[in-house]
Amino acid sequence: MTDDTQPQPQQQPYYPPRPPYDPARPITTEPGTTVWPSGGHVPSGGHVPPPMGPAGPVGAFPAAPTPHRRARRGVGLMAAVALAAAAIGGGTATLVQQWTADGGTSASSAVSGTNVSASSKGTVAGVAQAVSPSIVEISASSNAGKSTGSGVIITGDGEIVTNNHVISGASRISVQTSDGKSYDAKVVGTDPDKDLALIKLEGASGLRTATLGDSSRVRVGDGVVAIGSPEGLTGTVTSGIVSALDRDVTVAKDDGGQDRSQGQQYDPRQGWPFEFGGQQFNGDTGSSKTTYKAIQTDASLNPGNSGGALINMNGEIIGINSAMYSPSSSSGSSAGSVGLGFAIPVNTLKADLDDLRSGGAG
């Protein structure tokens, strides 16, 4: 008997038409947990290809992972990370909490306490740059010799404050500014009792002026900068701190306690004679002397700094340098600064300015 049964064509698996490919988008199952699907239909209407691997039954599609299960795994992973971070340190744990709260993005701000200011305010370089143009070198000449000191510009037309002993007895005063220009100057007024003097440049205008601060606010330990012309080295900058206040310093009322009228030449290398605690330093102050309350500093001062500026870290003048201690060397000349300098408080100057402008007391 012949089998009349005809072979039946094998049915081909049916695949429904696929919509245009659209990149997978995250499915958010609960706050703080995001799942990226590996297949199936996504809310936007797009479709992702099934994962490559062994073929399943004909007509069967790979089952999409249950979002709920993936969400649990994500939460478990995050919890484990958070626990590990807590074991490492509080700062790291804080970042992990921000990561999960933002849905996986990094924290946008730094941990509190890590910001560092990059401003140059309050640095020696910043103070020097701001104030140096207001400090000048003063040369005072007489028939007996020549001395060198410093001064501070307080008005744009050339009023300059310095020590009285810098210009005392001088027949000619010349001034050099920080830009190298030279001017002749005349004495406006002096106050030998405060060791202060005011001079005025001839033909000057548009000068850079200094800012006078408040010496009553100065505290021991404050940072300071000194600018002057030690040994004729114009614009020299040194720095240190305020090491004491209200020192009773006695200085000569003229240049180094030496009488020019008797032909004695002033040697600036011998420092500035002064007395403190009943002792004399850097030579004899002579019979004509005055005492004032001084700011003590360990900023290096040398002959030629006299009349220059002692400046706080805000760039304000807090004192006029007027005396220094310099131990004598075996050769008889001074051996340089050892960190004992003294300055007239700027409030003393401010209280005396009107008198100086009207001729002063001496």
Residues annotated catalytic, as ranges: 165, 195, 306
Cα 304 from Cα 295, distance rounded (Å)? 18
Rg of the Cα atoms in the chain: 41
Q: Which two tokens stand for residue 117?
A: 């200011």
Cβ neighbours, 10 Å, residue 51:
8
Beta strands 182-191 and 172-176 are antiparallel
Let me know: does 138 contact 307? Beta carbons within 8 Å. Answer: yes
Q: Measured in whole angstroms, how far is the alpha carbon of residue 176 from the centre of its chain?
A: 29
Q: Which two tokens stand for residue 190?
A: 């002096």
